[in-house]
């Protein structure tokens, strides 16, 4: 049987979820506007492109490492 504290926590969470329209949007919980943090669309697009290229590079490295690990596991068995 749940304790009183557990029941209260569940009730609070449910009430909060109802107040938020059952939205699980992360921005609702972590979004904060910081003054002076604005960037232009061009700067944003450039940053997004740079981050995308970096991610693609990391994914390629990850795939290579995955293959190396798989081959090593095969040789052990």
List the pLDDT tens digit at each of the 77 positions of the chain.
Answer: 556 666 566 666 767 667 767 666 666 555 555 566 677 888 888 999 999 999 999 999 999 999 999 999 999 98
**The pLDDT of residue 60:** 96
Q: Look at the alpha carbons of 47, 48, 49, 50 in this order and tell me if their dihedral is positive or negative.
A: positive
> Based on the structure, what is the number of domains in the chain?
2
Whether 27 and 45 map to the same domain: the answer is no
Domain of 8 in residue numbering reads as 1-31
**For residues 32 and 40, is the Cβ–Cβ distance under 8 A?**
no
Phi and psi (nearest 5°) for 24?
-105, 15
**The pLDDT of residue 38:** 74
Residues 6+ apart with CB under 8 A from 3: none
**For residues 28 and 20, is the Cβ–Cβ distance under 8 A?**
yes
């Amino acid at each position: 049987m749940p304790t009183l504290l557990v029941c209260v926590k569940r009730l609070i969470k449910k009430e909060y979820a109802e107040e938020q329209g059952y939205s699980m949007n992360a921005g609702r919980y972590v979004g904060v506007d910081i003054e002076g943090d604005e960037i232009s669309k061009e700067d944003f697009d450039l940053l997004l492109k740079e981050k995308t290229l970096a991610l693609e590079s990391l994914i390629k490295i990850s795939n290579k490492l995955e293959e190396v690990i798989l081959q090593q596991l095969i040789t052990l068995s």
